Structure 1
Amino acid sequence: MNPSTLLSTQPTSANPLVAEKPLIISGPCSAETEQQVLDTCQRLAATGRVNMLRAGIWKPRTKPGLFEGIGTRGLPWLIKARELTGLPVAVEVATAKHVEDCLAFGVDVLWLGARTTVNPFSVQEVADALRGVAVPVLIKNPLNPDVELWTGAVERLHKVGVAHLGLIHRGFSSYGNTELRNAPMWHLPIEMKRRFPQLPILCDPSHIAGRRELLAGLAQQAADLDFDGLMIEAHQDPDQAWSDAAQQVTPERLAELLAGLTWRRETTDQQEFLTALAQLRERINQLDDEILQLIGKRMTVAEQIGRYKKDNSITILQPGRWQQIVDRGVQKGARLGLSEAFIHRFLDAVHLESIQHQDRVMNE
């Protein structure tokens, strides 16, 4: 099945997930007490900047002993918050029982968390529980950077008849200490936008950042990349939150953050802009063609090197030579305004292709 046309017949105009842009979903990471949920949600509604409320009812945790959510008894708190504010509510589900409980209480929107999306069995269980049910579902990216798993979750829910789907980008787990809790890897949600242009996609900067002081920059980056909205965690007293305290903000601070964002349009009807953009894009096309031609010539030289190595029983991989190429590339790239991270990714891809060409020559 071609993912780019998977949802071509799905209605989009009636999709409540795209009724407003930006769609802002906010609420506490975890529902802790009824008072905490109601106070937080009412303060969020009072800002006038939130379209939908959220709270974690069931919380999958990395280690046992951590707070794993208040459970089903927290659902009536969210429903009461909806009654008091007039805003729809969203809840994360991971099992068929979660789905049944949410539907019984009339939760407006469900979402699959990253730990669920990573497991096709779990996704299928949730999908089967949603068969024939008219409720919108958002799908967070899997923990690991795997677009096919993310795509598979979309396909499973589509196949059981879920008409209104959306995506949430919350970053990807990576080993080692970094400034961010989860690596954004923006190229992966961009790929999902290419595959499913009909689906709204939100960014969850709370889980990407892990720290509240980084939220604004990530949220603006998502807006610049034409995301359809944000899911940001807010709490009446963030420092006292029972889970993910460091990444939550007060409702009032959230309002300030949102007020500072610039949401850009995808295009315009101004002819001067369109003409200039078309000319620049044509230059990009020409440069891309030249780059590909040069890379093709580079691979021809790599094949010649492979033949010499084959004739002289020399290994393909030459670590010393490779390090020279990387060092030279990083230095040259810096002078051209290219980041070191990009140079490494680019040269890694070129090197892998070169090895494959040489390996083919070696084994002719």
Structure 2
Amino acid sequence: MNEIIPISSLYVDEYVPDELYTLVRNNLVDQLDAHLYSLSNPVQYLTALSWHGDEKLSLLMVAALNGYDEIVRILLAHCQPQHQVELEGKVAISEGNFIGNMTAIQCACYRSHFTVAKTLIDIGRADVNRDNDKWLYYPLLIQASAENRLDIVRFLIENGYSDVNETQSNDSDRCTALIWAAVRGYTTIIEYLLEKGADVNYSCQSNDMLASTPITCAVLRGNINAVQLLCDAGADTSGEFTNGASLLMTAVKHNYLDVIDFLIKRSIATIDDLELTVCSLVDVNAPIEHLRKASKLFALAMEYRAFSQTPKVCIQPVVAYEYYQECQTSEELNSIKDDRDRMWIETLLIRE
């Protein structure tokens, strides 16, 4: 006699993923463990990704996002960790902010669940050097530095999971966490990384980057507080950008007055350097806005001379320059700021 199989039993597996998700989501430890033991092949559910709203998650990711350490341990016990920890899903980091190719360790760290993160690394052997769709080629340490997540940076460094110098981007640039902290101007992270021995004069390996060191990155973005921290830590201020520009040239180009002020007052650049650099803004075809910018910066140089009691040596009037002399006051500079020919002569006089 043929065995009669209830129709409902044919669809029993259909409900298993939702049942497991509910148990994980609600942190029902004992029930989850029992349910997994009852399944003939729990691995197929633990290595699957399922859509939950706009997120695509594994059960391990769900547990990691919620900080359920006991649940994480049960999931790892029922299926070899390597088959779970490297699954990549789509995760909501904040409202409306989704990142693809996120792993469970990234989920735990981004949500500040560091007990879970430690379990994933120590037991699950999760890889902290994996990237995601937002931060291609960037290990978790550099992601954290670029996102101003000091908590993640501390967790990785103080547990020995990442290294301030050896952990680098997996592209041709080979950026470090300090490079990105300098780019973003995150002074708290800069201070921490320097305290932990980050190389203040590290240089990225790619020639395609305009700024390849922490100090050039900070100057390029006008991050004055970062510039000060890096200089105090011994940054090489004689270094250049890959286009040959100095720190002062770049600060002048972008009109970073606070950076210019710092460079002059720290004697990293001189007043003469400032004046000569400003001259590069003016040529016979310079737009009016460049002339006005140059006029203001020349006036600033005058203020520095007055403050430091550094007199200006001017040449005697000559026919070549139509008997003009360098301006001696900000009022004189202001009067010529819209006169392209006169401003051009002013730069020639300064260069003498």
TM, length-normalised to structure 2: 0.25
Larger Rg: 1 or 2?
2
TM, length-normalised to structure 1: 0.24
